């Protein structure tokens, strides 16, 4: 599924790249089928609890329903004036990626962008997730250059194996059955992500860190709260642009917690580099680069924590579910 900016929407779908590969008839943007949008509320009424057919937290189910009802290209105005186009066929998605150019446009994490741009003393941009255009390209190019190096990957293999080994040893020692393994996986991927982002270990799976008031528990909750609110602030009523709504406050509170840790650790690492001239780690490479500055690196480390916990947990849980279902069959 792919989101497309609503700009120039009267002509967007006249070009073949946005059409299903088996469809050759060119159509106007407003001819794209999709859920009925009502004045003032758009299609939000279809996401209401109990009687709504869609759920924000079940995107894959929403997508399947829309694909079956409307076809491989679906237009939706979740709120009036904000059009989203869902593309489901792999061939269409591939074509879109090939045609989007050097500076692709992504409409997401808008409330997160508002928060960061309100703090120019800490951030240069909204970060990799919401930023578009030349700023996005500058950040992506600078961070990807070090991250994609073979020696960089090799440098984390041994430490990653150590972390995973500790996690498995603890799990075997506990001999505990559980119906939901995701909370434990969250701690594993927090440890891995934290180590890569900040070049140091966090909790080493200590028993005290499982307490709800521990540092690791607070970090997991902060990332989860932010990610849970992003979809609804992106696609729901845009009231957070005018005042601090409960959803925006949730993003703000969680981000301030992660930001506080990032500022502390990045500052300590920068001091260490100046005194010891050590650049061996990924964080050290970024802080020593001429292409990024201190504020860029702070934003990158926060983005890494946001993207590295929930997403990995969901991926592993889903993969395990598919493997188990295949074995049962």
CATH superfamily of 133-328: Cytochrome P450 (1.10.630.10)
Judge whether residue 20 has pLDDT over 80: no
- Run of H or E residues at 80: none
pLDDT of residue 8: 46
- Run of H or E residues at 152: helix 150-174
- Token match 């074509």: residue? 95
Band of pLDDT at residue 15, cut at 50, 70 and 90? very low
Angle among Cα 288, 293, 299 to the nearest 5 degrees reads 115
Q: Which of 112-116, 130-134, 304-308 has the lowest mean pLDDT?
A: 304-308
For residue 307, how many other CB atoms are within 10 A of its CB? 15
Strand-pairing partners, residue 77, are: 83
Residue 97 contacts residue 115 (beta carbons within 8 Å):
no
What span, in angstroms and rounded, lies between the C-alpha atoms of 241 and 233?
Answer: 10
What is the pLDDT averaged over residues 177-204? 87
Count how many Cα atoms sit within 13 Å of the Cα of residue 72 in the half-sphere of its side chain: 12
- Tens digit of pLDDT for each residue in 23-77? 566 778 889 999 999 998 899 999 998 889 999 888 889 999 999 999 999 999 9
* CA neighbor of 197 nearest in space, from 272, 301, 285: 301
Band of pLDDT at residue 2, cut at 50, 70 and 90? very low
- Run of H or E residues at 157: helix 150-174
pLDDT of residue 23: 53
Judge whether residue 12 has pLDDT over 80: no
What span, in angstroms and rounded, lies between the C-alpha atoms of 163 and 118?
Answer: 37
- Mean confidence (pLDDT) of the chain: 86
What span, in angstroms and rounded, lies between the C-alpha atoms of 326 and 163?
Answer: 29
pLDDT of residue 50: 85
Q: Which of 17-31, 220-234, 282-296 has the lowest mean pLDDT?
A: 17-31
Angle among Cα 84, 88, 94 to the nearest 5 degrees reads 100
pLDDT of residue 167: 93
Domain ranges across the chain: 12-100, 133-328
What is the pLDDT averaged over residues 120-139? 92
What is the pLDDT averaged over residues 140-147? 88
């Amino acid at each position: 599924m792919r989101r497309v900016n609503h700009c120039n929407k009267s002509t967007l779908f006249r070009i073949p790249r946005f059409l299903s590969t088996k469809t050759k008839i060119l159509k106007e943007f407003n001819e794209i089928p999709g859920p009925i949008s009502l004045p003032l509320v758009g299609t939000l009424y279809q996401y209401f609890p109990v009687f709504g057919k869609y759920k924000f937290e079940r995107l894959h189910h929403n997508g399947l329903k829309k694909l079956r009802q409307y076809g491989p290209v679906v237009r939706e105005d979740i709120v009036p004036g904000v059009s989203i186009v869902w593309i489901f066929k792999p061939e269409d998605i591939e074509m879109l990626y090939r045609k989007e150019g050097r500076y692709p446009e992504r409409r997401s994490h808008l409330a997160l962008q508002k928060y960061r741009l309100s703090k120019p003393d800490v951030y240069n941009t909204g970060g990799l997730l919401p930023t578009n255009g030349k700023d996005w390209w500058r950040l992506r190019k600078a961070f990807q250059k070090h991250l994609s190096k073979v020696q960089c990957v090799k440098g984390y293999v041994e430490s990653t194996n150590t972390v995973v080994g500790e996690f498995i040893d603890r799990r075997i020692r506990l001999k505990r059955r559980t119906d939901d393994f995701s909370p434990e996986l969250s701690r594993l991927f927090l440890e891995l992500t934290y180590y890569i982002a900040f070049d140091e270990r966090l909790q080493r799976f200590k028993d005290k860190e499982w307490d709800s008031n521990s540092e690791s528990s607070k970090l997991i909750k902060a990332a989860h709260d932010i990610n849970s609110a992003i979809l609804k602030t992106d696609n729901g009523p845009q009231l957070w642009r005018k005042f601090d709504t409960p959803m925006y406050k949730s993003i703000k509170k969680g981000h301030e917690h992660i930001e506080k840790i990032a500022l502390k650790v990045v500052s300590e690492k920068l001091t260490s580099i100046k005194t010891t001239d050590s650049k061996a780690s990924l964080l050290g490479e970024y802080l020593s680069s001429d292409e990024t500055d201190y504020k860029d690196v702070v934003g990158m480390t926060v983005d890494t924590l946001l993207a590295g916990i929930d997403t990995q947990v969901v991926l592993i849980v889903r993969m395990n579910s598919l493997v188990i279902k295949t074995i049962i069959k």
